[in-house]
């Protein structure tokens, strides 16, 4: 059990079960399940930030041990050993009790449990708990010469000054990241009187390294790389670890370092934005709220990045261990549009491709056409672009003229049946085809405005969509024409059998537009008065 949450549960439920060999008879299985299983807290270890380990005597005074065993309904009646009968589901579990008041900030606690029958150990397990460092909103005065910081006041900061680290050592600092925090900044510097080569790494609650920096200082090389700064996004709440280690295995002497860990508490109410146009009837105006809970930001501004047209290639067939093809939908070209007759194409998996967790494959680096025998042959070769592929000088189809249809391809390695969309090793996925060479045209504009609310801890960004998107591939300069309509009305008037009425009529043909299948994507960039604090929000506009 490994708890990396900020709010540690006081009582962690532990369910026990015996994985009995299939060759054991029913009578033997029943005997094993009805034999009392003894659960015992064998030992407790405490690891400090420098890696020093202290082992506690669990047989001493229980009120000094930060772990104990409790039964359901008797959480307060705690001890170091209990007996369970696994044949009874209501009596086959217990609670590992964490006495948080006995745990010290910045340390890691490990409880070793064993399960025995007839005096023989069946298995063991650990309960690992961090007591994280909580970053306060109070001002902290920072004086760290190796980081060029002197009498500087910081908020939500943790400071380590002139810490000695030996060769081959690891120093671990568990940091409690809350929903208020948007990022962590870590600064590491080698103290001027010291030398060495150090690595600082940041790990998220899942144990994945999300950033690192290397610093070094020697008499031969000087101190040009003696300090470094690292900022990582912290979208996930929970304990993040900052680890400082001696980077080189050839460095055998001690080093000293200064360390500053800061949380940036300027967080948006959303991580992405979907917007419609005014004419579409969809929501064309939205607000994003920024929480400035530590008042680190005194002003903010917003700007919109370049606009890119995206056509989703939906219903792309896939089959495990096969290469499959789909016609590539490309916006048409018309001479009156003034646009280029060729375009670049970027094929990628969509941002929400997590819905295809059961799929593993790649986008082929070639576009295909059908040969004389009906088989697929290479038409264009592309290059890598992130997780996808990019192609240049791809011709656009012109209405009413012959066009050689192009096909995209996907190689599917395997599919997992539990994904509802990928049953029986086959199904469909969606690819994004971006066309950065085709300009985005619209009536009106996308407006960004920072609203003042009279409170320093809140900023609001207002985003308004355009009146409508214009599809130059479907529009014509003048596609309406005038005509006349004659209406004849029979009557019963003496001598008049019918009345003829001539009316002017304007005829507008139905010109097909592909905008319904297209998206416009961009990014809103946020800058603030604090150079360390910024943000970017993907925006998607649909017609």
Domain contains 210? yes
The domain total for the chain is: 3
Domain of 349, in residue numbers: 308-435
Pairing of strands 183-190, 227-233: antiparallel
From 94, 113, 130, give the residue that closes a domain.
Answer: 130
**Could you give phi then psi for residue 186, rounded to 5 degrees?**
-120, 125
**Could you give phi then psi for residue 2, rounded to 5 degrees?**
-135, 110
| Claim to verify: residue 83 and residue 184 sit in the same structural domain | no
Domain contains 11? yes
CA atoms within 13 A on the CB side of 113: 24
| Claim to verify: residue 97 and residue 168 sit in the same structural domain | no
Q: Which residues contact 316 (CB under 8 A, 6 or more apart)?
A: 324, 326, 408, 410, 428, 429, 430, 431
pLDDT in tens, the chain (543 residues): 787 888 888 888 888 776 655 565 666 666 666 778 888 999 999 999 998 999 998 886 666 889 988 887 776 667 888 888 766 665 678 888 888 889 999 999 999 999 888 888 878 889 999 999 999 888 888 889 999 888 888 899 999 999 999 988 899 999 999 999 999 999 999 998 888 889 999 999 988 999 999 998 887 665 568 899 999 998 789 999 999 998 766 667 889 999 999 999 999 999 889 999 998 888 999 999 999 999 999 999 999 999 999 999 989 998 888 999 999 999 999 888 888 999 999 999 887 644 566 778 899 999 999 999 999 999 999 999 888 999 999 999 998 889 999 999 999 887 765 555 555 557 888 899 999 989 888 899 999 999 988 889 999 999 999 998 887 665 454 555 666 777 777 776 766 777 777 777 665 544 445 555 678 999 999 999 988 899 999 999 988
Domain contains 511? no
Pairing of strands 209-217, 170-177: unpaired
> Which CATH number characterizes residue 379's domain?
2.60.120
The candidate with the shortest Cα–Cα distance to 524, out of 280, 312, 271, is 271
> Which CATH number characterizes residue 171's domain?
2.60.120.380
| Claim to verify: residue 249 and residue 352 sit in the same structural domain | no
| Claim to verify: residue 259 and residue 324 sit in the same structural domain | no
From 130, 150, 182, give the residue that closes a domain.
Answer: 130
From 435, 455, 482, give the residue that closes a domain.
Answer: 435
Domain contains 475? no
Domain contains 542? no
Domain contains 447? no
The candidate with the shortest Cα–Cα distance to 110, out of 57, 171, 46, 52, is 46
Domain contains 541? no
| Claim to verify: residue 124 and residue 158 sit in the same structural domain | no
Q: How far apart are CA 236 and CA 210, in angstroms?
A: 12
| Claim to verify: residue 251 and residue 316 sit in the same structural domain | no
| Claim to verify: residue 126 and residue 143 sit in the same structural domain | no
Burial of 442 per CB tally in 10 Å (0-12, 13-18, 19+): middle
| Claim to verify: residue 151 and residue 121 sit in the same structural domain | no
| Claim to verify: residue 6 and residue 78 sit in the same structural domain | yes
- Model pLDDT, residue 510: 45
The candidate with the shortest Cα–Cα distance to 278, out of 32, 57, 469, 528, is 469
Domain contains 66? yes
The candidate with the shortest Cα–Cα distance to 248, out of 194, 199, 191, is 199
The candidate with the shortest Cα–Cα distance to 272, out of 312, 217, 231, 235, is 235
Q: What pTM value is reported for the model?
A: 0.74
| Claim to verify: residue 78 and residue 152 sit in the same structural domain | no
Q: How far apart are CA 491 and CA 485, in angstroms?
A: 19
DSSP type of residue 271: S
- Model pLDDT, residue 508: 52
| Claim to verify: residue 365 and residue 398 sit in the same structural domain | yes
CA 516 to chain centre: 28
| Claim to verify: residue 122 and residue 149 sit in the same structural domain | no
């Amino acid at each position: 059990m490994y708890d990396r949450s900020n709010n540690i549960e006081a009582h962690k439920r532990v369910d026990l079960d015996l994985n009995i060999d299939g060759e054991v008879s029913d009578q033997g299985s029943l005997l094993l399940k009805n034999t009392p299983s003894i659960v015992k807290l064998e030992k407790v270890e405490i690891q400090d930030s420098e890696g020093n380990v202290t082992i506690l005597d669990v047989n001493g005074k229980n009120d000094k041990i930060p772990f104990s065993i409790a039964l359901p309904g008797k959480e307060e009646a705690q001890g170091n050993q209990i007996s369970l009968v696994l044949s009874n589901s209501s009596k086959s579990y217990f609670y590992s009790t964490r006495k948080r008041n006995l745990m010290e900030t910045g340390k890691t606690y490990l409880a070793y449990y064993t399960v025995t029958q007839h005096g023989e150990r069946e298995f063991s397990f650990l309960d690992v708990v961090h007591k994280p460092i909580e970053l306060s909103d109070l001002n902290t005065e920072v004086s760290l010469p190796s980081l060029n910081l002197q009498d500087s006041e910081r908020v939500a900061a943790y400071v380590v000054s002139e810490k000695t680290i030996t060769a081959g050592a690891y120093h671990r600092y568990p940091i409690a990241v809350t929903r208020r925090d948007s990022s962590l900044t870590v600064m590491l510097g080698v103290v001027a009187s010291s030398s060495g080569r150090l690595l600082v790494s940041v790990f998220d609650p899942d144990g994945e390294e999300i950033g690192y920096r290397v610093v070094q200082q020697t008499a031969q090389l000087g101190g040009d790389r003696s300090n470094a700064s690292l900022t990582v996004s912290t979208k996930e709440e929970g304990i993040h670890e900052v680890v400082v280690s001696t980077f080189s295995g050839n460095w055998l002497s001690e080093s000293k370092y200064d360390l500053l860990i800061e949380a940036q508490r300027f967080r948006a109410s959303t991580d992405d934005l979907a917007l419609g146009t005014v004419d579409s009837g969809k929501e064309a105006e939205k607000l994003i709220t920024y929480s400035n809970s530590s008042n680190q930001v005194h002003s903010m501004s917003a700007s919109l990045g370049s606009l890119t047209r995206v056509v989703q290639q939906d219903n792309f067939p896939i089959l495990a261990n096969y290469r499959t093809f789909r016609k590539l939908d490309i916006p048409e070209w018309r001479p009156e549009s003034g646009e280029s007759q060729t375009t670049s194409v970027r094929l990628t998996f969509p941002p929400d491709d997590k819905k295809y967790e059961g799929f593993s494959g790649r986008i082929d680096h070639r576009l295909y056409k059908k040969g004389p025998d009906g088989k697929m042959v290479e038409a264009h070769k592309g290059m890598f672009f992130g997780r996808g592929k990019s192609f240049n000088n791809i011709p656009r189809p012109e209405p009413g003229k012959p066009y050689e249809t192009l096909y995209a391809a996907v190689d599917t390695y395997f599919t997992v049946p539990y994904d509802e969309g990928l049953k029986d090793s086959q199904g469909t996925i969606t690819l994004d085809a971006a066309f950065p060479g085709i300009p985005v045209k619209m009536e009106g504009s996308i407006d960004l405005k920072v609203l003042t609310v009279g409170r320093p801890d809140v900023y609001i960004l207002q985003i308004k969509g355009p009146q409508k998107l214009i599809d130059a591939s479907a529009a014509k300069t003048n596609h309406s024409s005038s005509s006349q309509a004659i209406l004849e009305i029979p009557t019963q008037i003496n001598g008049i059998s019918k009345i003829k009425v001539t009316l002017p009529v304007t005829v507008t043909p139905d010109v097909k537009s592909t905008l319904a299948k297209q998206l416009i994507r961009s990014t809103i960039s946020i800058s603030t008065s604090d150079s360390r604090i910024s943000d970017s929000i993907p925006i998607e506009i649909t017609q």
